[in-house]
């Protein structure tokens, strides 16, 4: 569990580095095994920097690699006349990009703040490097991002320290990332979820999901209808157990009861089942409507962000990854429903990792899977069409026209499936429907995206079906005789169990139902705890479809996490129910909570509550307006919902509150408190220390290490433990 000291530590490290460090502290580390693990991790994710690397070396890296240039010039990844611009752009630092997240009304309010408070200041800034003409900083709205919610601007670490308005914007981005109001994500990395076209009823699989920036987008799209809980879900999977916890962190920021995190090798992902509405008690195979296949890759299109790739680039990287990329994609197509959509993406320029994988898949699947032209979904995006011709090369930089030319010693590395289609077959595959984004197109990283639609069962699925029908009776007989299957051994840490409530009769539920006046539609069987015995501490909520998924497949796949924390034990003598509400799960159950525990608070009172967040000195009821005092007069002490609705802007805020004997306060974590005060246009200066002067004095490397690339878990909700709660009953 995180404690506050850990929180500070995480703020100074990326989450990955933090997890690695915690892992090291908690175990008796075998250094040899540790190095081996790091090497393996590095091979699996070449685009990730090794744990021992720090950014301070990045500025010293010579951004050149002759083999890289020769390889891509030969492959003609861009027209000859664009080559110098392509190379120049690759050597520059990457601009910052971010998108506004959260509910529609909050996103709209935050967007106004960004434009009026931060961008307007920046537009007057001209950054002047020594001896050069001042460069204007102009935020660019990404035309193709739904709702116009994504932006890109040049905001390098050095620039932040040269200009106070830029520093302020940077601070805003860090704070709002922690509160879930903003997600910082590379521009091109936002593309796959957009072209996947996720709707609230879709069953979505993210096969290689960690660290989870695209998963976060998938969840946001799933929740696009704010009036109801989605009937679909997102299953986010990664083979790397420790990276799965990055997904847990992402999911926590977005408070969705519709996400499930699993830990499996996607290339051999087991077939899952779900309840069959047509046959009560029965099951049917689970097929996904949308699948994201953002495979591990050489990452050479991220050179601007990860300059250390200049030092280690070789043709071997791409060749070695082609196999696993293909196997993950093929399994994805098997798990996809007919009529479903799959997006394959990499951050590599290499046709062997891109079009060759797509071509191999199309060859094997015949007419059952087709490429879709996704460009119309990305208005204004500059890109190149997919390549139709390339030449695989061996590590010694010899290029081959056809497999027959490959010398024996390279034949296990350069495989026949890596070659392009014959010219007469080009129309059959339409590889030009793939999308290639190069860094100089719009000052971003590079990227590759291919969008598939499954139009009929795969050839081998059809065969299996026929054979299955014939064998059905025979199989039933065999099954009877078969000894019980051995339980699959699953790697990584052992997770706590997922223990669902048996229904309204579950021991603690009647008092929760009574206290919060839960309506009849509330399904208590969707509540769960993570322990079989002992006092229930935290109670989590999942959507009905996720409950079904967990219950039907738990023994078949390793589930790392699911559910939003909705009720937290709080044995307080002033409260008749032993559970308080949790901000994380509030959005999911607010519609089920009756009027008994709701307070429709005025704006000024909400500001008072948020500005006085010291749990040992909560604001006295006398500090509130008469309106609010009257509302809480007859409200029994304990947990409650504080609601605020601004009719004019339609801003709606719902917070967990606590009615003390003489006080009223909110149960929000500090980043959320700042976020709400910001949305209310109130003063939050006590949390927003201007460190600009201090920061401009510290050297580059130190400043870099304080950047929070992946936002850590927010600090504990203020006073969110029992002792503090008890002390508020003043």
Ligand X SMILES: C[S@@+](CC[C@H](N)C(=O)[O-])C[C@H]1O[C@@H](n2cnc3c(N)ncnc32)[C@H](O)[C@@H]1O
Indicate whether 584 belongs to the interface with ligand X (CB under 6 A).
Answer: no
Q: Is 204 helix (H, G, I), strand (E, B) or coil?
A: strand
Q: Which helix (H) or strand (E) holds 579?
A: strand 579-581
Burial class (CB in 10 A: 0-12, 13-18, 19+), 424: exposed
Residue at token pair 């460190």: 691
What is the secondary structure of 167-189 as a DSSP string? Answer: HHHHHHHHHHHHHTSEEE--GGG
Cβ–Cβ under 8 Å, residues 453 and 290: no
Quote the least distance from Cβ 623 to ligand X, whole Å.
45
Looking at beta carbons, which residue is closest to ligand X?
A: 208
356 annotated as belonging to a binding site for a ligand: no
531 annotated as belonging to a binding site for a ligand: no
620 annotated as belonging to a binding site for a ligand: no
Q: Which is nearer to ligand X, 292 or 669 (CB)?
A: 292
Indicate whether 184 belongs to the interface with ligand X (CB under 6 A).
Answer: no
Q: Which of 14, 163, 171, 213 binds ligand X (CB under 6 A)?
A: 213
Indicate whether 307 belongs to the interface with ligand X (CB under 6 A).
Answer: no
Return the residues of window 549-578 that contact ligand X according to CB under 6 A. none
Q: Is 723 helix (H, G, I), strand (E, B) or coil?
A: helix
Give dist(CA 471, CA 469) in Å, integer: 6
Give dist(CA 679, CA 179) in Å, integer: 12
Quote the least distance from Cβ 252 to ligand X, whole Å.
15
Peptide bond before 44: cis, by omega within 30 degrees of 0?
no
Q: Which of 191, 208, 575, 641 binds ligand X (CB under 6 A)?
A: 208
Q: Is 76 helix (H, G, I), strand (E, B) or coil?
A: coil
Q: Which is nearer to ligand X, 40 or 465 (CB)?
A: 40
Cβ–Cβ under 8 Å, residues 626 and 602: no
Give dist(CA 646, CA 655) in Å, integer: 15
Q: Which is nearer to ligand X, 208 or 369 (CB)?
A: 208
Q: Is residue 374 left, alpha or beta, with left meaning phi > 0 and alpha meaning psi from -120 to 50?
A: alpha
Give dist(CA 381, CA 369) in Å, integer: 26
How close are the terminal C-alpha atoms of the chain, in Å?
29
Residue 347 is among the residues annotated as catalytic for this protein:
yes
Q: Which of 17, 209, 435, 586 binds ligand X (CB under 6 A)?
A: 209
Give dist(CA 342, CA 289) in Å, integer: 8
636 annotated as belonging to a binding site for a ligand: no
Q: Which of 19, 328, 655, 674 binds ligand X (CB under 6 A)?
A: 328
Indicate whether 580 belongs to the interface with ligand X (CB under 6 A).
Answer: no
Indicate whether 267 belongs to the interface with ligand X (CB under 6 A).
Answer: yes
Query: What would the x/- binding string for ligand X be over residues 14 to 53, using CB under 6 A?
Result: ------------------------------xx--------
Q: Which of 46, 181, 232, 296 binds ligand X (CB under 6 A)?
A: 296
Closest CA to 156 of 165, 166, 164: 166
Number of residues interacting with ligand X: please give it, by CB under 6 A. 23
Give dist(CA 371, CA 453) in Å, integer: 6
Quote the least distance from Cβ 183 to ligand X, whole Å.
11
Cβ–Cβ under 8 Å, residues 117 and 148: no
Q: Which of 159, 240, 713, 717 binds ligand X (CB under 6 A)?
A: 240
Give dist(CA 215, CA 232) in Å, integer: 14
How far from chain centre, in Å, is Cα 419?
34
571 annotated as belonging to a binding site for a ligand: no
Q: Which is nearer to ligand X, 152 or 229 (CB)?
A: 152
Give dist(CA 485, CA 481) in Å, integer: 12
209 annotated as belonging to a binding site for a ligand: yes
Q: How many CB atoms lie within 10 A of CB 721?
A: 12
Stretch that binds ligand X, among 59-67, 77-85, 237-245, 710-718 (CB under 6 A): 237-245
Quote the least distance from Cβ 323 to ligand X, whole Å.
11
Stretch that binds ligand X, among 66-74, 204-212, 392-400, 624-632 (CB under 6 A): 204-212
Q: Which is nearer to ligand X, 293 or 374 (CB)?
A: 293
Give dist(CA 439, CA 84) in Å, integer: 12
Q: Which is nearer to ligand X, 210 or 542 (CB)?
A: 210
Residues near 607 by Cβ (< 8 Å), separated by ≥ 6?
677, 680, 682
Q: Which is nearer to ligand X, 87 or 208 (CB)?
A: 208
Edge-to-edge strand ranges of the sheet holding 638-646:
598-600, 638-646, 651-659, 664-666
Return the residues of window 276-295 that contact ligand X according to CB under 6 A. 294
Stretch that binds ligand X, among 102-110, 206-214, 384-392, 699-707 (CB under 6 A): 206-214
638 annotated as belonging to a binding site for a ligand: no
Give dist(CA 383, CA 263) in Å, integer: 34
What is the secondary structure of 660-691 as a DSSP string? Answer: -SSBEEE---HHHHHHHHHHTT---GGG----
**What are the helix (H) ranges across 91-163?**
104-113, 120-122, 157-162
Give dist(CA 254, CA 102) in Å, integer: 8
Give dist(CA 160, CA 34) in Å, integer: 36
Q: Is 206 helix (H, G, I), strand (E, B) or coil?
A: strand
Quote the least distance from Cβ 547 to ligand X, whole Å.
24
Q: Which is nearer to ligand X, 293 or 356 (CB)?
A: 293
582 annotated as belonging to a binding site for a ligand: no
Give dist(CA 76, CA 45) in Å, integer: 26
Length of the chain: 730
Quote the least distance from Cβ 36 to ligand X, whole Å.
16
Q: Which is nearer to ligand X, 238 or 584 (CB)?
A: 238
User: Strands, DSSP E only, in 207-299?
Assistant: 233-237, 259-262, 273-275, 283-285, 288-294
Residue 460 tokens, joined = 């081998």
Give dist(CA 377, CA 394) in Å, integer: 37
Give dist(CA 344, CA 363) in Å, integer: 16
Q: Which is nearer to ligand X, 255 or 266 (CB)?
A: 266
Stretch that binds ligand X, among 208-216, 392-400, 432-440, 561-569 (CB under 6 A): 208-216
Indicate whether 265 belongs to the interface with ligand X (CB under 6 A).
Answer: yes
Quote the least distance from Cβ 206 to ligand X, whole Å.
7
Stretch that binds ligand X, among 21-29, 142-150, 202-210, 451-459 (CB under 6 A): 202-210
Q: Which is nearer to ligand X, 114 or 267 (CB)?
A: 267
Q: Which of 210, 418, 431, 512 binds ligand X (CB under 6 A)?
A: 210
Q: Which of 159, 176, 220, 238 binds ligand X (CB under 6 A)?
A: 238
Return the residues of window 360-389 that contact ligand X according to CB under 6 A. none
Quote the least distance from Cβ 295 to ligand X, whole Å.
6
Q: Which of 214, 330, 341, 415 binds ligand X (CB under 6 A)?
A: 214
Q: Which is nearer to ligand X, 360 or 659 (CB)?
A: 360
Indicate whether 186 belongs to the interface with ligand X (CB under 6 A).
Answer: no
Stretch that binds ligand X, among 139-147, 209-217, 441-449, 567-575 (CB under 6 A): 209-217
Q: Which of 171, 262, 266, 670 binds ligand X (CB under 6 A)?
A: 266
Cβ–Cβ under 8 Å, residues 344 and 89: no
Residue 687 tokens, joined = 């949390």
Indicate whether 212 belongs to the interface with ligand X (CB under 6 A).
Answer: yes
548 annotated as belonging to a binding site for a ligand: no
Stretch that binds ligand X, among 211-219, 351-359, 396-404, 695-703 (CB under 6 A): 211-219
212 annotated as belonging to a binding site for a ligand: yes
Indicate whether 239 belongs to the interface with ligand X (CB under 6 A).
Answer: yes
Spot the catalytic one: 347, 570, 577, 640. 347
Positions touching ligand X (CB under 6 A) are: 44-45, 189, 207-214, 237-240, 243, 265-267, 294, 296, 324, 328
Pick out the residues of the known binding site for S-adenosyl-L-methionine: 208-214, 238, 265, 294
Catalytic residues: 347
Pick out the residues of the known binding site: 208-214, 238, 265, 294
């Amino acid at each position: 569990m995180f404690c506050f000291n850990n929180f500070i530590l995480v703020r100074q490290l990326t989450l990955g580095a933090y997890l690695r460090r915690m892992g090291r502290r908690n175990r008796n580390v075998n250094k040899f095994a540790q190095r081996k693990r790091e090497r393996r991790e590095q091979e699996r994710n070449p685009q990730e920097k090794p744990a021992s690397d720090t950014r301070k070396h990045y500025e010293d890296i010579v951004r050149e690699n002759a083999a890289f240039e020769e390889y891509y010039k030969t492959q003609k990844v861009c027209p000859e006349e664009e080559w110098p611009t392509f190379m120049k752009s690759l050597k520059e630092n990457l601009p910052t990009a971010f998108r506004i997240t959260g509910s529609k009304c909050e996103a709209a309010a935050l967007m106004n703040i960004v434009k009026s408070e931060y961008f307007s200041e920046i537009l007057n800034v001209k950054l002047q490097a020594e001896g050069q003409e001042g460069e204007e900083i102009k935020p660019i709205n990404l035309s193709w991002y739904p709702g116009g919610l994504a932006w890109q601007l040049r905001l390098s670490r050095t620039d932040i320290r040269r200009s106070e308005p830029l520093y302020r914007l940077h601070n805003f981005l860090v704070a709002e990332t922690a509160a879930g109001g903003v997600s910082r994500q590379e521009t091109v990395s936002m593309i796959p979820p957009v072209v996947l076209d996720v709707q609230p009823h879709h069953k979505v699989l993210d096969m290689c999901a960690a660290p989870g920036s695209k998963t976060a987008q998938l969840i946001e799209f799933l929740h696009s209808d704010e009036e109801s809980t989605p009937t679909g879900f997102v299953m986010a999977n990664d083979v790397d157990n420790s990276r799965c916890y990055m997904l847990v962190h992402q999911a926590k920021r977005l408070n969705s009861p519709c996400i499930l995190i699993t830990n499996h090798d996607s290339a051999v992902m087991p077939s899952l089942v779900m309840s069959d509405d047509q046959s009560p008690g029965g099951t049917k195979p689970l097929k996904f409507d949308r699948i994201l296949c953002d495979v591990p890759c050489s990452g050479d299109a991220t050179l601007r962000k990860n300059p250390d790739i200049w030092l280690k680039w070789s043709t071997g990287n791409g060749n070695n990854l082609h196999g696993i990329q293909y196997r993950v994609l093929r399994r994805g197509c098997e798990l996809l429903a007919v009529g479903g959509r799959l997006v394959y993406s990499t951050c590599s320029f290499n046709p062997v990792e891109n079009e060759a994988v797509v071509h191999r898949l199309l060859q094997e699947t015949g007419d059952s899977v087709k490429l879709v032209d996704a460009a119309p979904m990305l208005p204004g995006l500059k890109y190149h069409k997919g390549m139709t011709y390339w030449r695989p090369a061996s590590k010694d930089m010899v290029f081959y026209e056809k497999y027959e030319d490959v010398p024996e010693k390279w034949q296990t590395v350069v495989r026949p499936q890596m070659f392009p289609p014959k010219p007469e077959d080009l129309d059959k595959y339409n590889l030009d429907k793939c999308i290639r984004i190069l860094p100089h197109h719009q000052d971003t990283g590079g990227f590759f995206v291919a969008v598939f639609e499954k139009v009929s069962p795969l050839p081998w699925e059809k065969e299996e079906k026929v054979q299955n029908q014939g064998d059905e009776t025979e199989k039933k007989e065999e099954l009877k005789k078969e000894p019980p299957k051995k339980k699959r051994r699953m790697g990584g840490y052992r997770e706590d169990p997922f223990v669902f409530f048996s229904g309204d009769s579950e021991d603690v539920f009647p008092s929760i139902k009574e206290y919060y006046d839960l309506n009849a539609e509330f399904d208590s069987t969707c509540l769960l705890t993570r322990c079989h015995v002992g006092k229930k501490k935290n109670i989590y909520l999942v959507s009905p479809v996720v409950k079904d998924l967990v219950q039907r497949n738990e023994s078949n796949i390793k589930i790392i996490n699911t559910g939003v924390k909705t009720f937290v034990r709080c044995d307080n003598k002033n409260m008749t129910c032993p559970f308080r509400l949790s901000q994380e799960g509030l959005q999911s159950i607010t519609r089920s909570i009756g009027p008994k525990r709701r307070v429709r608070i005025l704006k000024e009172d909400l500001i008072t509550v948020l500005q006085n967040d010291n749990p040992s000195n909560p604001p006295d009821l006398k500090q509130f307006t008469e309106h609010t005092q009257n509302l809480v007069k007859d409200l029994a002490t304990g947990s409650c919902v504080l609601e605020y609705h601004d009719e004019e802007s339609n801003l709606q805020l719902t917070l967990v509150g606590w009615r003390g004997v003489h006080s009223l306060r909110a149960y929000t974590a500090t980043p959320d408190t700042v976020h709400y005060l910001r949305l209310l246009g109130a003063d939050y200066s006590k949390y927003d220390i201007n460190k600009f002067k201090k920061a401009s004095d510290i050297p580059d490397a130190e400043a870099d290490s304080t950047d929070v690339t992946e936002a850590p878990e927010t600090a504990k909700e203020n006073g969110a433990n029992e002792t503090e709660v008890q002390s508020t009953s003043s």
